[in-house]
Structure formats: structure tokens, C-alpha cells
Amino acid sequence: MEGSGTWQGLILVSIVTWICLSSYLKLTQKVRSLVQPWVARQVVGGVPLILQIQKHQSGVLDAFFSGLSCVVSVPFYTAFLPLLFWSGHGRLARQMTLLIAFCDYLGNCIKDIVSAPRPSCPPVRRITATKDEEDNAMEYGLPSSHTLNTVCLSGYLLHYVLSSFEQEESCIQYYGFALACLLVSLIAFGRIYLGMHSVVDIIAGLAIGVLTLGLWLTVNEKIDDFITSKQNVSSFWTALSFLLLFAYPTPENPTPSYEYHTAFTGVALGIVTGVQQTYSQFHHEGAPRIFSPELPVTAYLGRVVMGIPTILLVKFCSKSLAKWILPTVSNTLGIPIRSTTYIPKLKLDKGYANGKNTDETKNSVGYSQKLCDFLNQDSFDIDTGIRFVQYAGLAWSVVDLVPSMFSYFNL
């Protein structure tokens, strides 16, 4: 790919320019002031339809839609993707990983820009299917992330399956399309039934999902070719991931959306760097696949038994190292930091959290403070860096460390 350094540089410069302009012009606040009133009216106007749907409630429907909601949730994707990588379907797994990361970023950005209030409960009956939904039920809004993800992932999976057939039969295409539409319809209806989204959220999720899927199908081949090439992949993706942590709108009220974005951005970085380094060994198209003579079910189960504890251990170690290294580095560089979850000391020690506990940091904090002021922050949340490193290490172990162990033990 000739001139790859040029377009990589243009992309990074464009993102930096966007961050500076949007921060200086306060674009998030301006867009929110224009869109939020309309969305709020649509949310209120959709309450009667939600109540009409919830009149048909039953224990069976509650369990069915709650279970279906868990199947398309972020925790399910996080657990499913390692199994897909280890089954030999590396191309599908890495494409789904990047697609989830993109959908998560896009959907949460729009959601945190709008920040419209949810229908009150009561009168709307709200059923939480997971612990994350229980803690953050009032945060869900336009668009429906479940609907957006379902449209994109089911559509891409259908495309992947159909493209794997040498001769595509029309009946397979029709049945596959009907099955994908049925899944999307059930998810969309279930989100309304559970009281987690209003009608405008679902419509927005469907529309954005279709547009995102169409865009992804036009560029996924080029993205995959780039990831498996040697064109500054790791360095470019590291810089891109770091910038994306800043290229995110500030919500009107604190939400967990940025945490999901940080986690999946780290996952994408770990997957990309790991695959780029070990593509020819473990992730090429000729890699053994499950149910083949080279990878029987018994060997695959052995991979799962060995792999799951290993990636959990790497996740724990990555988090511990990040909690130790990142505050020390930040303090040395005079970067003002705080912690809301991981480091209790940074919640209480204001001097340390602001990077002013040593003479060295006092000399260098001026430049960092200027950056904080420009980005409208008094300090940086060190939890973001810890979470990012934690999930990047987890994802790297899935595609690099663990497959190396499989090779060593002939699994």
C-alpha cells in the first residue's frame, strides 16, 4: 500500500483538528440544544404506545425478552469473541470486534450528545435484564444500542455466511435475510416491551444501524487488508485509539457510555496489534477450524479450558500494572489526574490528584494544565487509562499469547 504513511497522517491530523475545533466551538452543547428538545418531545409522545405494549405483559414474555436482551449485550460479545477466535474463524472474529467497537463509539456518542430523559417509571414498567442495565436504566436513550448492534452484526454475519458459499442459492439468501430481520424485530420490540427504550430510540437505532452496515460492507475488506499488512499498523492504531479517547462528547450528566467506549477501544487495539504480529502463524485463512480433522471438538474444548483462565489472569495483571504505572508516570510528567473507582487515594488526596505534590510536578504542570483548560477539564480521570490498558491486554492475550500456548501444547 503505497503512500500509507500519508493517509495515516491525514487521518490522525484530521482527528486532532476535529477535537480542537469541537472543543473550542463547543459543538456538543450547540448540537444538544438543537436536538434535545425535539427528542424529548418524541420520548413523551411515545409513552402511550409503550404502555399499550406493556398491557400484554406476562412472565413468559418477561423471561423471553430479558434473555434475548442478554444475548446481544456487551458482556455476551466480550465472552463470545475469544471463542470465535479460537475456533479458527479469525477473519470473522476480528471484523466483528472492530464493527462492535465502531457501533459502540458511534451509538454512545450520539446518545451522550442528545442526553434526553427517559420515560419515567412508573407509569412505564422497566425490566432490567443485566446488572449494567439495572445500575444505569435511566441512561439509555437515542439510539438503542442493542438495536444498532443487532442490525450491524446480524447483517454482517449474514453477508459473511453467504459469501462463504461458492454458489449462492436464492433460498438460502431469503431464509438468512428473513432470520436476520426476525432477530432485529424481536430485539427492537423487546427493548420497548422491557421499558428500556422509547419508539424514537428504536427508529434511530434501526436507521443508524442500516447506514453503518452499508458503510462497513464497503470498507471492511480494505480495513482487514490493512490490519494483516506491515504498514505501520500497530503504531497507527495506537495513536488512533489514544485520540479516540479524547474525540468523545462530554455528556450532560455522567453516564457509563464512555466506559464502554474506552473498553472496546482497548479491545480493538489489542486485537489489531496481536493479529498483525501473529497473522501468518495463527489467524490466516488456512488456520484449522473447528469440526475439521485438524481441530476436533475435543481439542477445541481443551483450548477453551486453557484459554479462559489465561485471559482472565492477563486482565487482572494488566489492571494491576496499570494502577501502579500510570499514576506514577502522570505524576512525574505533571499531569493532573483523579480517580473515581480504581485508586481510592486519588479520590481523597487533592494535591496528588492535581499533580502538585512534588516540586517537579509544579514545574511541569503548567503545560498539562493548559491542555486540561483547553479540553474543559480540571484533571484527567486515570481510570480511563487503566481501563484502556486492562482491556487492551485482555484482547492481546486472546489473539497472541493464548494461541502461542495452544501451539506449544499442540491444541
pLDDT at 129 over 70: no
What is the spatial distance between Cα 340 and Cα 13, in angstroms, rounded to a whole number? 31
| Lowest mean pLDDT, pick from 168-177, 264-273, 283-292 | 168-177
pLDDT at 216 over 90: yes
Give kind and range of the element (H or E) at residue 236.
helix 233-246
pLDDT at residue 139, as a whole number:
57
The answer to whether the CB of 126 falls within 8 A of the CB of 196 is: yes
pLDDT at 266 over 90: yes
Which distant-in-sequence residues (6+ apart) come within 8 Å of 188 by Cβ?
Answer: 144, 147, 150, 202, 205, 206
Mean pLDDT to the nearest integer, 193-217: 91
pLDDT at residue 311, as a whole number:
93
| Lowest mean pLDDT, pick from 133-137, 316-320, 341-345 | 133-137
Q: How confident is the model at residue 350 (pLDDT cuts 50, 70, 90)?
A: very low
The answer to whether the CB of 241 falls within 8 A of the CB of 269 is: yes
According to DSSP, the residues that pair with 295 across neighbouring strands are: 292
pLDDT at residue 377, as a whole number:
58
- The set of cell numbers assigned to 138 is 435511566
The answer to whether the CB of 105 falls within 8 A of the CB of 264 is: yes
pLDDT at residue 351, as a whole number:
44
Model confidence over 364-393: pLDDT tens digits? 344 444 445 445 556 778 888 999 999 999
CA angle, 114 as apex, 113 and 118 as ends, to 5°? Answer: 135
The answer to whether the CB of 224 falls within 8 A of the CB of 95 is: yes
How many residues would you count in the chain? 411
Mean pLDDT to the nearest integer, 32-53: 88
Which distant-in-sequence residues (6+ apart) come within 8 Å of 40 by Cβ?
Answer: 116, 117
Give kind and range of the element (H or E) at residue 381.
strand 380-381
Neighbours of 143 (CB within 10 A): 26
Which one has a higher pLDDT value, 404 or 232? 404
Q: How confident is the model at residue 59 (pLDDT cuts 50, 70, 90)?
A: confident
pLDDT at 7 over 80: yes
pLDDT at residue 226, as a whole number:
87
Which residues are known catalytic residues? 146, 197
Which one has a higher pLDDT value, 44 or 134? 44
Cis geometry, peptide bond prior to residue 48 (ω within 30 degrees of 0): no
pLDDT at 254 over 80: no
pLDDT at 355 over 50: no
What is the spatial distance between Cα 250 and Cα 387, in angstroms, rounded to a whole number? 18
Q: How confident is the model at residue 316 (pLDDT cuts 50, 70, 90)?
A: very high
Residue 300 corresponds to which amino acid? Y
pLDDT at residue 4, as a whole number:
63
Task: Give pTM, 2 decimals.
Answer: 0.85
What is the spatial distance between Cα 84 and Cα 97, in angstroms, rounded to a whole number? 10
For helices 145-164 and 199-227, angle between their N-to-C axes, nearest 10 degrees: 40
pLDDT at 144 over 50: yes
pLDDT at 5 over 80: no
pLDDT at residue 238, as a whole number:
92
pLDDT at 395 over 80: yes
pLDDT at residue 309, as a whole number:
93
- The set of cell numbers assigned to 70 is 442478554
pLDDT at 343 over 60: yes
Best CA proximity match to 267, nearest among 391, 117, 405, 96: 391
pLDDT at residue 306, as a whole number:
93
Neighbours of 406 (CB within 10 A): 19
DSSP secondary structure of 309-342: HHHHHHHHHHHHHHHHHHHHHHHHHT--EE-SSS
DSSP tally for the chain: helices H, then strands E:
18, 2
What is the spatial distance between Cα 191 and Cα 54, in angstroms, rounded to a whole number? 11
Which one has a higher pLDDT value, 227 or 360? 227
What is the spatial distance between Cα 51 and Cα 179, in angstroms, rounded to a whole number? 28
Domain locations in the chain? 43-229
Neighbours of 357 (CB within 10 A): 14
The answer to whether the CB of 400 falls within 8 A of the CB of 277 is: yes
Model confidence over 69-122: pLDDT tens digits? 877 776 777 778 899 999 988 899 999 999 988 998 998 888 888 877 777 777
Determine the distance from the C-alpha atom of residue 348 to the mean position of all C-alpha atoms in its chain, rounded to a whole number. 31
